Structures are given as C-alpha cells and as structure tokens.
Amino acid sequence: MTQPGRLALAMVLLVVVTSCVVNAVTYYLATRAPPVGALATIVGAALAGAAAAGVLAVAGGFAGLRLKRPDAAEIADIRNGPEQERSHRTTIDSEMGQAIIEGALDAFVQTDERCVVLNWSPHAEALMGWTRAEAVGRSVEELLFPEPLRVLYRQWLDRFLSEAEGSGVGGRYETPLLQKDGREFFAEVSFTALRRGEGHIVNAFVRDITAKRAAEEQLFQAQKMESVGQMTGGIAHDFNNMLTVITGTIEILADGVKHDAALASIVRMIDDAAGRASQLTANLLAFARKQPLRPRETDVNGLIEEVVQLLSPTLGRQIEIETALSDRAWPALVDRGQLSSALVNLAINARDAMPEGGRLLFRTANFAREDSDAELAGLGPGDYVTIEVIDSGAGIPAAIRDKVFEPFFSTKQFGTGTGLGLSMVFGFAKQSGGGVVVDGEEGKGACFRIYLPKANAEALEMPQAGAAPPDGELRGGTETILCVEDDDVVRAHVIGRLESLGYKVIAAANAAQALELINAGTPFDLLFTDIVMPGAMNGRQLAQKVAELRTPLRVLYTSGNTFGAFDLDKRPGEGVLLLAKPYRKAELARMVRLCLDRAIDHQGDPIPLPYSVQEDVERFLKENPPKRE
C-alpha cells in the first residue's frame, strides 16, 4: 500500500472511533431523558448526525483509497524504471565502446564464427583500403588473406572456437594480409572470441608490423653476417700462418730443384696452388672486413674508366659496356686496388647473368645522408659517392636477394665459382666505411649500388708490402731484429728467412717475453711483431708499451688478420708498416729494409741512427772519452 492510501485508512478509522464514542454518550443520555422534550430532540439529532458522519467518513475513506490507487500506467512506470536505467546505461556503454574502437590506433574488425564481417572501423578502412559498406557482410578471409592462407585460416578458427571453453578467450598471431589493391603487408592480430547464444563473436585488432618485421630481419641478417665474418676471419688468420710457411718452403724447394725440370714443374704446381689458396683467404678476409686496407683519395670516375678498359676484352663482344659518370662526383676515400677488384667481381657476376649477351652500365653520383633519413645499408650520416653496376640479365628473385652477399652462397652451377665474389664486395664496402645494396626484379636485371665515404682533406693511407719499390736483388743487412711470433713453426721459419738475409734475430713467443728482454736492456734495431697473439697484449699494444720504454722505435707489423687492431677511423701514423701474411721472402726483405732505411719511426718522428749504431757510438765514447784541453 502506498503512503497516501495508508493516511486515508487512518483518517477513516479515527472518524469511525469518534462517531462510536459520540453515539455511545448520546445513547446514554437518551435513556435517561424523558421521551418528550427538548433534550430528547437534541439527543436524537446527535445520534442521527453521528451516524451520518460515520457513514460519510467510511464512504469518503474508501473513495479516497479509490482515488489514490495508482493506475496501470503509473504501475508500468514504476516497474519499468530500473529497466529504463539499464537500457540507458547500455546505450552509454555502446557509445563509449564505439568511440574506443574508432579512436584506437589499430584497425578493428568484428566477425561472427562464419568469418562474416559485422563491424569495420575507420582505421580498418585506412589500412586495408575497403570501406565499411564494402566490408560488412563479406567473408574476412576473402577480403584480407592471401589465397594459400584462406582455407588454413578458416580451419584454424573453427578448431579454435570448438576447443575454446567459456567466453572471452583470445590470443595473438602474425600473418601476411592483403590490401584492397592487392599489396601484401605483414600484420599482428590480437583477438578475443565472445560467446553469443549458440555462436561466437570475434573481435580483432590489426596492426601493420611490416616495417618492424623488416627491421628485425635486417638486424638478424647483420648479426648472422657478423658471426660468419668472425668465423671466416679466424679461419683465414690460421690458414695464412700455414701458408706463410708453405710459400716460404716452396721457394726453398724451387732453389734446390731448379736444375731438374721435372721437379721444378712440380714445385711450380704447388706454388700455383698456394697462390690460389692465398687469394681465397684474401677474399675471406675481405668479407670478414679484416683485410688491411690502404684508403686514400681516389677519383672514382678515372678508376672506373681504367676498369672498363680492362673488362672490354675480358667480358667479350656480346656484352655492351656503357658509362654514365657524373662530372660532379666527389673523390672517395677508398683502397684503389680493392675497389678495382670489387668492380671486376660485379662485372663478372653480371656477365654470368647474361649468357646470351646484354648491357652493362657503370654510373656514379653523390649521395648525402641525414640523421632523419631512413636506414640504408647501415650507413651513418655523411657524404658518400655511389657507384652503380647495372646489368640487363636475369635479375635476382626476391626470395634470395638478402642472401647474395653470404659467403659460399651461389646460384651458379656447382664448380663454376667459389661463392665469395659478392661477399668480398660486401665486406670491402663495409670495411671502407660504406655499404652495398642490390635492387632489381627477376627477369628485369640487377643493380648493385656501392656507397663509399667522401674523401676529406686528410686522406688516410696505411703503407703495406707494396709500398716499397721492387728491387732486382734481395737486400739484407746486419741489424738486430726482435721477432715476436706466437706460432712456433712460423717463428722458426721467419727466423731462418731473416738470418739468411744477414740479420741477427732475437726471438720471443709473446709480448711478455719480449718485454722481459727489453727490460733487461737487450739492444735491437727493429721490432718485428705479429699483431694477433695470445695473452693480455697484442702486437699493437706491445709496440705502444715498448715505445714508452725506448724512443724512437722502428716497428714492422705482420698478421694474417688484424682483428681490428688498427682503427681505420683514426690516422695510425705515417710510420705504420704492415706485412700481410702469407708473404714471400722478397716481400719480407723489402719491408724490413724499408723500415730500417726510413728516417722516421712508427709514429712518424725522425730517427737519426739505428739503435745498434747508437750503441756503438755510446760504447766508443765511454771507452774513449773526449780529452779536455
């Protein structure tokens, strides 16, 4: 009962009780009053009025109850109040959900268990190209998935929904998807499956991760190439140590059998094989970016013209060679010999891609990279010279484009190549401070683009074995050489070679032994040290330590792999000489003589006399002090 009804009932009861009391008093008076007279008349009127009031009060109370009773509409409003509130809240939640979907950074796609699209956000329109009107009602696998994945996706979704327990289950996966124009992109899909009656509703957020995936693949490729480079560099270093002994022994055998034609022919065959092995290790070091380079200011246009003249008779008449050289091309800071080898390798690779003949183009240009530019071949910001080698051959399939620079990877028939040509180009460009990329489509030729750093005013050059002019005869000497070499066989071989040239040799197996000899006051004229040695100190660090103890100092370095001992970002000094392994006796003799005859030490400072001569002078002055007059 409502509040007004309860008040009306209380009023009726109050009136009825009051009427009963009045009637009772009136009845008492009536029984005591005479039957005729004024008092009887008054009492009769009072009884009639009380009875009438009681009747009217009861009638009015019931009428009030009837008037205050809510009608059907009021009852419906009362009953529907919570439902209207819930409906209003649902409307608000729906609007908020739609706002979240439309404002999300990822595309939103809603489907049922049959893969029919139910909802399609504005971001989905922008990412996939289909409008909402075009997408809703269509099958999502036909809209987005490539043909080979459509059946697989439908089977996977059916199995997932059948195995899902309860509502709100979901997951995440990565897959290639298609845009409306047919272009493929890689997407990350986060989804939830909600049960609705006997079916499911699948809500999915789609994110384009094509750029992220490409960056991850580039990082993985770079890490793989770096790991392979470390391995090949180590193999090349050890192999060069062995080749140093092999080539030296071959020279001794050649001198011993030069009067026997049959044996001399065999020795020449062994020597040729050793030469090919040496070139193989050189290519491995080039890929590993561990080869000793002599970068200097180079006119790339002039060098390309020299290479073209060399290639014209080599490639054959079926290959038409053209050049498009920019007259504004900057000079590059690069090793001329290694750049020539790289261009020849690319030209030969292009010839093999054009067995029926074709067109080969060399093109140069300038390129400036800013900090904000997209990543390109691992290049840092700065100025670069680009050299493009473009052919009209079969091209490179996209599936193997990222593998062409890997060592021993080749699409040629077995036995027609080593698989090191392109890897050598890659390693040389990287070690020079640049990079190399390949473009082109299958059947439309290929373009290899080399980026080389622009030369500045201080071009860097590291003298090597070829720095000394060749002499007709081997020149030796009588100076003392401190030879530091960790390999026992190589050390014994080098000592024999140096002693045969007339030098006095003091041997040390590592940097610690060398420092012991130096601290003991052992005199010497030249420190001839391997760069890569076991222990806490390599050859470069040994030379720096010795220079603190003895100044000036002459140093000749040797190594089959420098392993980064020379930082090409800094000028190593005009006096730095490096004899790369393997080397012949003539190269050893020239470099030792060059280092001893130059008037500068390993830092480029002047040296007046060799140490042995200084020792003799000091001894003579001690024994024969000048007389005072």
The pLDDT-based confidence of 458 (bands split at 50, 70, 90) is very low
Q: Are residues 146 and 241 part of one domain?
A: no
DSSP string, 91-147: HHHHHHHHHHHHH-SSEEEEEETT-BEEEE-HHHHHHH---HHHHTTSBHHHHHS-H
CATH number at residue 264: 1.10.287
Q: Are residues 273 and 305 part of one domain?
A: no
When mean pLDDT is compared across 323-337, 365-379, 421-435, 602-616, the lowest value belongs to: 602-616
Tokens of 37: 């007279």
pLDDT value of position 3: 53
Q: Are residues 488 and 438 part of one domain?
A: no
Q: Compute the half-sphere exposure of residue 396: CA atoms within 13 Å on the CB side of its CA.
A: 22
Ordered alpha helix ranges (H), 130-209: 132-135, 140-144, 147-163
Q: Are residues 202 and 222 part of one domain?
A: no
CATH number at residue 522: 3.40.50.2300
In a domain, 53, yes or no: no
* pLDDT tens figures, 244-263: 888 888 888 888 888 888 88
70-77 long-range Cβ contacts below 8 angstroms, 24+ apart: 70/2
In a domain, 126, yes or no: yes
Whole-angstrom distance, CA of residue 103 vs CA of residue 121: 9
Of 230, 253, 288, the residue that ends a domain is 288
* pLDDT tens figures, 296-317: 888 999 999 988 887 877 787 8
In a domain, 203, yes or no: yes
Of 246, 262, 288, the residue that ends a domain is 288
CATH number at residue 174: 3.30.450.20
* pLDDT tens figures, 120-179: 898 899 899 999 999 999 998 888 999 888 888 888 888 888 877 656 678 888 899 999
In a domain, 24, yes or no: yes
Alpha carbon distances (Å) from 404 to 214, 337, 551: 17, 23, 49
The pLDDT-based confidence of 516 (bands split at 50, 70, 90) is very high
Q: Are residues 247 and 147 part of one domain?
A: no
Q: Are residues 221 and 192 part of one domain?
A: no
The residue that leads in pLDDT, 351 or 72, is 351
Q: Residue 552: give the domain boundaries.
A: 480-597
The residue that leads in pLDDT, 534 or 153, is 153
Q: What is the pTM of this model?
A: 0.48
Tell me whether the omega of the peptide bond preceding residue 606 falls within 30 degrees of 0, making it cis.
no
Q: Are residues 344 and 279 part of one domain?
A: no
When mean pLDDT is compared across 84-88, 205-209, 455-459, the lowest value belongs to: 84-88
Q: Are residues 559 and 446 part of one domain?
A: no
Number of folded domains that form the chain? 5
Q: Are residues 304 and 448 part of one domain?
A: yes
In a domain, 460, yes or no: no
Report yes or no: 468 and 593 within 8 Å, Cβ to Cβ: yes
Mean pLDDT, the chain, as a whole number? 75
> What DSSP designation does 379 have?
P
The pLDDT-based confidence of 579 (bands split at 50, 70, 90) is confident
Whole-angstrom distance, CA of residue 422 vs CA of residue 431: 14
Whole-angstrom distance, CA of residue 140 vs CA of residue 134: 11
In a domain, 425, yes or no: yes
In a domain, 79, yes or no: no
Whole-angstrom distance, CA of residue 596 vs CA of residue 610: 7
Tokens of 15: 């009136």
In a domain, 174, yes or no: yes
Tell me the chain's radius of gyration from C-alpha atoms. 49
When mean pLDDT is compared across 213-217, 343-347, 383-387, 497-501, the lowest value belongs to: 213-217
Q: Are residues 223 and 202 part of one domain?
A: no
Q: Are residues 439 and 301 part of one domain?
A: yes
Q: Are residues 489 and 390 part of one domain?
A: no
- Provide the 3-class DSSP secondary structure of residue 458: coil
